[in-house]
Amino acid sequence: MYLGGLCFITDRKACKLSCEEMTLKVLRAGLKWVQYRDKEKSRREIYEEAIRLRKLTKDFNAVLIVNDYADIALAVDADGVHLGQDDLPIRETRKIMGSNKIIGISTHSLEQAKEAEKDGADYIGFGPVFHTVTKDVGSPKGTDMLQEIKRHVQIPVIAIGGINLENIKLVLDTGVDAVAVASAILSGDIIENTTRFMDIIK
């Protein structure tokens, strides 16, 4: 499974552009992993936008992961789905998605990370590593906890939450497989920000 080191998460609250417009910019900068997240649109609207994002990501030979909805991910032929702790369980999602699609899940504790691996997740997102305004998922876990997670699970770990150009090296030093970023890419020049992140990760 290709992670590419940097995963972009769409966030309309952090940027006035549409998810399609912001995704085009990060793809032009060379990023290869897009996670489509929109907590406000209707399922129909998410489906329609996911179709457009699937075309874009295919044009750039990039991975598209749809948040929350296995059925929408499958309907648009996305590469996979990213689940939250309150979404459909991994084992049930696998029945829908099949063995060739990627299933990731957000985790916030060592127990959840171990359970995700046991249930067949392809990767876990772990965080928030630092304070984040993008999503309310509890207090920051810190880089020590990230190292602990890496020691106990064998599947890829994507760090998420409050990661920016100033603290990313601390995160990478834990040995994580990739970092997921939303607002730090979307605040300012998206292409320049993406390029700077990718230069650090290389």
Give the other-Cβ count within 10 Å of 97's Cβ: 19
Cα(145)–Cα(171) distance, rounded to whole angstroms? 11
CB contact set of 111 (below 8 Å; sequence gap of 6+): none
* Residue-level pLDDT at 137: 63
CB contact set of 189 (below 8 Å; sequence gap of 6+): none
Tell me the average confidence (pLDDT) per consecutive run of 10 residues in the chain, 202 residues long: 86 94 98 96 97 98 97 98 97 96 97 98 97 74 96 97 96 97 96 97 88
CATH code 3.20.20.70 for 6-201: yes
Q: Helices in the chain by DSSP H: which ranges?
A: 19-28, 43-59, 70-75, 90-97, 110-118, 142-152, 168-172, 183-186, 190-201
| 198, HSE (Cβ side, Cα atoms, 13 Å) | 19
* Residue-level pLDDT at 125: 98
Q: Which residues of 6-34 are buried (b: 16+ CB within 10 A; e: fewer)?
A: bbbbbbbebbeeebeebbbbbbebebbbb
* Residue-level pLDDT at 134: 61
**Spans of all domains in the chain:** 6-201
* Residue-level pLDDT at 37: 97
What is the residue whose two structure tokens read 């810190």?
A: 142
* Residue-level pLDDT at 2: 67
Can you say how many angstroms the Cα of residue 58 is from the centroid of all Cα atoms in its chain? Answer: 17
Cα(168)–Cα(184) distance, rounded to whole angstroms? 11
Are the C-beta atoms of residues 185 and 193 closer than 8 Å to each other? yes
